[in-house]
Structure 1
Amino acid sequence: MQLSEVQKWIYEFYSKRGWTEYGPFIRVGFLMEEVGEVAQAVRTYEIGRDRPDETEKSLQESRQAIVEELGDVIGNVTLLANIYDISLEEIMEAHQNKLTERFQQEKKD
């Protein structure tokens, strides 16, 4: 799936549920919550939770949790980009250019 298709699908799906009505400060809050859930999923995968009130997950279940939580992060990043009329392609191009320019010196050494 192309980034533009992803961005369109996320907007349409979230829009049907009224989730696109939140402003940037609320959206950033949701993004931070989801990043925390990624951190928890990675911890569970890497070292486990070691809590008596939680059952152990298999590595496959733990990996799937990481996949799902990363999807939630991408969804929130996409909606934040939409607020500012920024395409995911523009984000990735700017990111690539920034890193390429920043680390250009390494290639010359």
Structure 2
Amino acid sequence: MPRIENIQQFEQWVQQFYEQRQWSQYNPFIRAGFMMEEVGELARAIRAIEIGRDRPDEEVMCYDHARQQLVEELGDILANMLILSDKYDISLDEIMNGHVAKLSARFDT
């Protein structure tokens, strides 16, 4: 397993990993659907940490395990975002700066 030191390495690793498995060829609508599925899994992971189980057939999870699931789901969302941004040739720098500009203008900071 490679050790990722920064976001650029992660971005390169995701692109290579997804291409090797032919996961990058899905059109943006399908990729967005995958991302929404991951957002649902993220919500479930957050719920497990914040309120625990809410059904009798669910096991109570220790915090470390619940936190690891949260890390994994955030990673899945980040990877899907990177694949989508790559499809439109949008860099992470552009995304970050665009977000800062939007919020700064909106909230006059």
TM-score computed with the length of structure 1 as normaliser: 0.89
1:56 positional shift: 1.2
Q: Percent identity?
A: 50
Deviation string, structure 1 residues 16-49 (Cα, Å, up to 9, x no partner): 1111010000000000000000000001110012
5+ long unaligned stretches in structure 2: none
Q: Where does structure 1 differ by over 3 angstroms across 4 or more consecutive aligned residues?
A: none
Q: Distance in 2 between matches of 1:13 and 1:89?
A: 22
Gaps of 5+ in 1: none
Shift of 1:103: 1.2
Matched, 1:45 2:49: yes
Greater RCO (Cα-Cα under 8 Å, separation 6 or more):
1
2:107 pairs, out of 78, 103, 106, with 103
The AA in structure 2 aligned to 1:88 is L
Q: Supply the RMSD in Å over aligned alpha carbons.
A: 1.3
Deviations 1:30-73 (A, max 9, x none): 00000000000001110012333222110111111111100000
What SS class does the counterpart of residue 24 from structure 2 fall into? helix
TM-score (norm 2): 0.89
Match of 2:34 in 1: 30
Structure with higher helix content: 1
Q: CA deviation at 1:9?
A: 1.4
